[in-house]
Amino acid sequence: MNMMGSGGLARYAAVALLGILVGGLLGWVGHDFAPKPSNVMTTTFFEDWRVICPPLRQADSSCQLRQDLLNARSRAEVAHLVMGAGGPVLTATLPYDILIQPGLGLSLDGGKVQVFPFQTCDGTGCVARIPADEALRKALRAAKQGRLLFAGLDKKVIALPFSLRGFSEAEAAFAAGARRYK
């Protein structure tokens, strides 16, 4: 025995059709209110690293791979490491109250220290550019922790540790994001 007669089935079909039409109309009207992915800056976190990509409409911009280094006690930003559009370079920016002449040391997992010169001090701090060739990127992917070494104005060496947790995944996402802007 059919509980829904032919009239009930027609009503059910009409309600379903009306629901589909109303949903489609609301979706069409509402699509202008949702932000367009191509016009939104994105930040994706990979443990201690993040990848920041500008809106796609900014054709002259590119993504950057970044980690801010914090003072262990105050949690204030002391320095940051950035890999951006300037080629395979890891840029380290440190505060002004350092000695420029000895340069910046980089050590991974307590290994040998490599020294790089500071290029300039600008509005953001003192900048050293570390060539990030495939050998260095491979070492960064394999290491668990790094240290930036520099001299304070009192000539004492300061060792600033940084984490490499999430670097491999962040680097892969950075490379994928960088390709979108070429």
pLDDT in tens, the chain (182 residues): 455 556 667 777 667 677 677 676 666 665 556 655 567 888 999 999 999 988 877 766 788 999 999 887 888 888 999 998 667 899 999 999 999 999 999 999 999 999 999 999 998 899 999 999 999 999 999 999 999 999 999 999 999 999 999 999 999 998 887 555 44
What pLDDT was estimated at residue 26? 67
The rounded distance, in Å, linking the Cα atoms of 58 and 63 is 11
What pLDDT was estimated at residue 113? 96
What pLDDT was estimated at residue 2? 53
- Other Cβ atoms closer than 10 A to 106: 24
DSSP designation for 136 = H
**79, amino acid identity:** A
Instruction: Please give the C-alpha separations between residue 176 and each of 56, 116, 121, 179, in angstroms, as whole numbers.
Output: 13, 28, 31, 5
- Cα torsion through 44, 46, 49, 50, rounded to 10: -10
The rounded distance, in Å, linking the Cα atoms of 93 and 122 is 10
Q: Which of 139, 138, 145 is nearest to 160 (CA)?
A: 145
What pLDDT was estimated at residue 30? 59
Tokens, residue 72: 């262990």
Tokens, residue 21: 């039409």
DSSP designation for 25 = H
Do 178 and 85 form a contact (C-beta atoms < 8 A)? yes
Q: Indicate whether this model's pTM tops 0.85.
A: no
- Other Cβ atoms closer than 10 A to 181: 15
